[in-house]
Structure 1
Amino acid sequence: MTAARIALAVGRGTGPELAPVFERVLDRIVRLHGRRVELVRSPRLYHSYVSLRAEAAGTAEVAALTEQDAAHYEAFCREQAAAGVRAVFRTAINAQSLYLVRQRLAAVKVEPLTADGARLLLVRDQAQGFYTGENAHTPGRVVRTLEFDRATTGRVVRYAVERARARWPEGPARVLMAYKHHLLDGALDDWAAELSAELGLDIGLFQPDTVNRNLLAHGVADRTLLIAGNEWADIMHVVLLDRYGSERQENRCTENVHLHPDAAGLTEYQTVHGSADDLAGLDLVNPVATIRAAARIAERHVDCPGAEAAVERALAAAQARGTRTPDLGGSTGTTETADAVLARLGSPGRVPTPVPVPADGTGARAAAR
């Protein structure tokens, strides 16, 4: 039986505590399904923002370390995609490094939500705009250079429509784009009109505050595809989760898809919460999002049908017995929470030991057999 290859990238903060949770849960699920998984772990421990500020002497060193992390992670993703890896789990890393990679690999974040029975698919454009800019420093001034690009916009919108049509065979009933397009001299208006004609869809381009007002006034129409610039979507994500997802940010995992041809087909899974450096080493970080990410990867990429449903039942059973981390009002630690969920999944198996591999593609890989 061929082992499915899954990549793992770990950042500082609570990343070193969450990575073993991911490994244990993934290993247990694939063993219960009679599958095998090969874990490929990046050899670099990527910075969080807090670790950067603590380690670097000034902005120039922060920028240099940021670029080193970005270049390494980009190379790692390209290498894994070229090797046929289709999924990577990444713990939180410094946002500037991450968004440099997302710009270079043309990434989008995909989040399905439900609002009072109405279905919403949120596709976040992570490939362009303010979040993906680069900084130039002079004394007392930071100049951030960013761009919006017709080709990138087209790639994002076409992918979003493709995902909506895959999710809803009848296609999206409404397609909205939430961008601060008034600042772009009408360029985004023209691109949206071109895409509407190309795709045979009425794509509505709106200012973010207009989208907010309409959501408050009218809610979400069923089968709404919402394509959003990160300037709005990142801020509104927690609000949308609370209003339409019935879920806490700390418990959610999400997927990022790279659209660049060199990384096409590689999906990155992450927790929605950040690096939580203040909890590092305390065994208190909430592992629910990491557990869910392991289940999602197992079901989608390791041929483990029903894995997500089984994990949801195990999570519900553990929480019913009072297993909750402090952020959810409980007193259970990270390890104990993971143990409680694993105990409800089935008998334990051997934990795989990922072997760090260089970003140039050389090195050994470890397989759970």
Structure 2
Amino acid sequence: MLVALLPGDGIGPEIIAQTMRVLDAAGVTGLEFEEAPVGGAAYKQLGHPLPESTLALAKRADAILFGAVGDPDCDSLERHLRPEQAILGLRKHLGLFANLRPAKLFPELADASALRPEVAKAIDLVIVRETNGDVYFGEKGHRTTPEGLRQGYDVMAYNEAEIARIAKVGFETARARRGKLCSVDKANVLETSQLWRDVVIEVSADYQDVELSHMYVDNAAMQLVRNPGQFDVIVTGNLFGDILSDQASMCAGSIGMLPSATLDGSNKGLYEPIHGSAPDIAGQGKANPLATILSAAMMLRYSFDRSAEADRLEAAVAKALANGARSADLGGSMSTQEMGDAVVAALA
């Protein structure tokens, strides 16, 4: 089985290196890893953030383990050449439309959450985010108004088939957990969201065992900090999911702790931490590799049906935290290498 290894920019190579150490220490075999450049690193090397050779590897691979993209040196480039276009391109070309972002507080990190411990400890949810549509992929550009003013525009759009397929992922995810699905939209003002709500209700007819509720996105953001324990699975669109999943990460302690999987509806997926490339600390050994290690555990579970090995990695992360492992984002001073050491020791 082939894994495309795409470290990317900033702290990406550092956190991927520690993840590979942990996979080796866990005795994970039967996987072949092939590395390729992506993001700003690929642009500097090959003139494009998603070179044809990297895309070809990603298409051949059974799964993709991704670090991060983002490089301030590339901020002045035309938009289609910026590092972030690599991840959008992979999602588009590979049909990766369903992003799963679990947010669960490790008990040892209750003091790291932005919430009161008694509120934070109830967090155990999954955000299912659609990643192939919405304003990120809609028509966009700049124009001049009749008054002569510059205007930027980004079109939010979903068709019923796109909504139905992500709704099914949401319902299936909820069915495998506690049986509660909250669909988040802004149907009171957006026609796109009204269609979203209508289609989700239609799909719910096939999932009578799952309790469906609806919530406007502004209320959902408030409820995530007020009472996160009420949520089991949230299904939402690309823009709202992007924002809510980052918010959920801070409720759970740190953005450095949350993994993600973006799936094509079958076994193929792209696995990455939800944080960015953090160029301000790149190369300094300060990055937290735990989200990437947990992303690798998701890869084992979803793409390779190796749940026992995934459970072992997740248990090792929990044990490392219980033993006091803390990087800077968790209020400690351990380096990237030392955090990797702690997980390797926990595996032993």
Output the amino acid matched with 2:132. Answer: A
Contact 1:71 1:101 in 2 (8 A): no
Question: 1-side partners of 2:205 and 2:102: how far apart?
Answer: 26
Partner of 2:17: 20
| Structure 1 runs (4+) greater than 6 angstroms displaced | none
SS of the equivalent of 1:175 reads strand
Query: Where in structure 2 are the equivalents of 1:271-286 lying within 5 Å?
Result: 271-286=273-288
Farther-moved stretch of structure 1 (248-257 vs 151-160): 248-257
- Aligned-pair CA distance for 1:96: 3.9
| Structure 1 residues 215 and 336: alpha-carbon distance in aligned structure 2, compared to 1, 3 A threshold | closer
Partner of 2:115: none
- Aligned-pair CA distance for 1:248: 1.9
Question: 1-side partners of 2:274 and 2:233: how far apart?
Answer: 20
SS of the equivalent of 1:91 reads strand
SS of the equivalent of 1:44 reads coil
- Aligned-pair CA distance for 1:258: 1.9
Partner of 1:334: 336
- Aligned-pair CA distance for 1:208: 1.0
| Structure 1 residues 190 and 323: alpha-carbon distance in aligned structure 2, compared to 1, 3 A threshold | closer
Partner of 2:32: 38
Partner of 1:251: 257
Higher relative contact order (CA 8 A, sep 6+): 1
Say yes or no: does 1:79 pair with 2:79.
Answer: no
- Aligned-pair CA distance for 1:142: 3.5
Partner of 2:91: 102
- Aligned-pair CA distance for 1:212: 3.9
* Aligned Cα root-mean-square deviation (Å): 3.5
Output the amino acid matched with 1:177. Answer: S
Question: Deviation string for 1:286-311 (max 9, x for gaps)?
Answer: 11222233344345656765444544
Partner of 1:358: none
| Structure 1 residues 332 and 235: alpha-carbon distance in aligned structure 2, compared to 1, 3 A threshold | same
Contact 2:102 2:258 in 1 (8 A): no
- Aligned-pair CA distance for 1:322: 5.4
Partner of 2:153: 143
Farther-moved stretch of structure 1 (233-242 vs 192-201): 192-201
Question: 1-side partners of 2:218 and 2:101: how far apart?
Answer: 20
Output the amino acid matched with 2:167. Answer: V
Question: 2-side partners of 1:194 and 1:216: how far apart?
Answer: 30
Query: Where in structure 2 are the equivalents of 1:202-351 lying within 5 Å?
Result: 203-213=212-222, 220-221=229-230, 224-243=232-251, 246-259=252-265, 264-298=266-300, 306-312=308-314, 314-315=316-317, 318-319=320-321, 323-346=325-348
Q: Which of the numbers 173, 191, 216 marks the counterpart of 1:184?
A: 191
Structure 1 unaligned blocks of 5 or more: 56-63, 347-369
Question: 2-side partners of 1:213 and 1:14: how far apart?
Answer: 31
Structure 2 unaligned blocks of 5 or more: 70-82, 105-119, 145-149
What TM-score results when the alignment is normalised by the length of structure 1? 0.69
Question: 2-side partners of 1:113 and 1:74: how far apart?
Answer: 30
| Structure 1 residues 143 and 28: alpha-carbon distance in aligned structure 2, compared to 1, 3 A threshold | same
Question: 2-side partners of 1:70 and 1:158: how far apart?
Answer: 33
Identity %: 26
Output the amino acid matched with 2:267. Answer: G
SS of the equivalent of 2:243 reads helix
| Structure 1 residues 138 and 11: alpha-carbon distance in aligned structure 2, compared to 1, 3 A threshold | farther
Question: Deviation string for 1:275-334 (max 9, x for gaps)?
Answer: 111222222211122223334434565676544454455445555665433333333322
Partner of 1:121: 126
SS of the equivalent of 2:280 reads helix
